[in-house]
Amino acid sequence: MSRDPAFISECVALTRALRDFPSLAALRRSARWPEIEPRLARVLGTVRLHVPRHPAGETPDPSRVMAVHWNIEHGNRYDAVAAALRDHPQLAADLVLLNEVDLGMARSGNRDVAGDLAQTLGFHAAWAPMFLETTAGRDDDNVLAGESMNQEALFGLAILSRWPIGEVQVVELPSPERFQFDVEGMYGRHIGLIATIERPHAPFVAVSTHLEVHRTRSHRARQMAALTRALTREGRPVILGSDLNSHTFGRGRPWDPWLGALVLMGWPDGALRARLLNPDRGGARERVFDVLREARFEWHALNDRRPTLKLRLQRLHEARGAIGRVAAVFGGLLRHAEARAELRLDWFAGRGWHRGRGATVSGLDGPDGASDHAPIVAEFR
* Distance in angstroms (rounded) separating the CA atoms of residues 101 and 71: 8
pLDDT at 320: 52
- The pLDDT assigned to 293 comes to 98
SS3 83: helix
Q: How far apart are CA 33 and CA 215, in angstroms?
A: 27
- Segments of the chain scoring below 70 in pLDDT: 1, 313-334
Domains and CATH numbers, the chain: 5-246+286-308+344-380 (3.60.10.10)
Stated as kind and residue range, the H or E segment containing 172 is strand 165-172
How far apart, in whole angstroms, are the C-alpha atoms of residue 67 and residue 70?
A: 10
Of 243, 2, 211, 185, nearest to 104 by C-alpha is 2
Q: What is the DSSP string of 351-374?
A: ES-S-EEEEEPPSSBSTTSSBSB-
What pLDDT is attached to residue 329?
44
Give 208's DSSP letter. Answer: E
Residue 260, helix vs strand vs coil: helix
Q: Are 345 and 365 in contact (CB under 8 A)?
A: no
137 near 147, Cβ under 8 Å? no
**What pLDDT sits at residue 332?**
62
Cβ neighbors of 16 (< 8 A, separation 6 or more) are none
The predicted pLDDT at position 254 comes to 84
Residue 328: the pLDDT is: 47
Given the DSSP bridges, would you call strands 356-360 and 376-380 parallel, antiparallel or unpaired?
antiparallel
